[in-house]
Amino acid sequence: MTTRYTKDHEWIRLDGDVATVGISDYAQSQLGDVVFVDLPAPGKTVAAGAEVAVVESVKAASEVYAPASGEVVESNQAIADDPALVNRAAQTEGWFVKLKLSNKTELDALMDQAAYDAYLKTL
């Protein structure tokens, strides 16, 4: 199960036909303390690059963009109930949505871990 990244610091991890989406550790550290998340309802269809969720911190509100197109099959109620989970476990339990992908080849355009790490060094 490979994790891919966007330049907007979202990650996506495919498991079969369903991909889990969240924000990177870098993104959560830039946001500061997360205080609220607005998650989509299951059944919502999103296009790659479109807003899929909103995360609010003590510093700012930011959009979370879908790294790939698909249908939301699950939103993470745990981060709705405890938004700080995004700060504590951004790349594991702090995920935002699960998508049933409509086009897995969109993942090919995203960065792997090594490319993302190199990208972070340019910021």
- List the Cα angle 75/83/3 in 5-degree steps: 55
| pLDDT number for residue 30 | 96
CATH number of 3-102: 2.40.50.100
Domain segments of the chain as ranges? 3-102
Asked if residue 1 has pLDDT above 80, the reply is: no
Give me the residues paired with residue 104 across strands.
Answer: none
pTM greater than 0.85: yes
Q: Is the pLDDT assigned to residue 70 strictly greater than 90?
A: yes
Query: What tokens does 28 get?
Result: 């959560």
b/e for 1-11, b at 16 or more Cβ within 10 A?
Answer: eebbbbeebbb
Query: What is the Cα–Cα distance from 44 to 37, expressed in whole angstroms?
Result: 17
pLDDT value of residue 97: 98
Per the prediction, the chain carries an average pLDDT of: 97
Q: How do residues 85-123 score in pLDDT, each as one tens digit?
A: 999 999 999 999 999 999 999 999 999 999 999 999 999
Q: What is the pLDDT of residue 13?
A: 98
Residue 35: which pLDDT band, with cuts at 50, 70 and 90? very high
Determine the pLDDT at residue 82: 98
Distance of CA 102 to the CA centre of its chain: 17
Residue 57: pLDDT band (50, 70, 90) is very high
Q: Is 105 exposed, middle or buried (0-12, 13-18, 19+ CB in 10 A)?
A: exposed
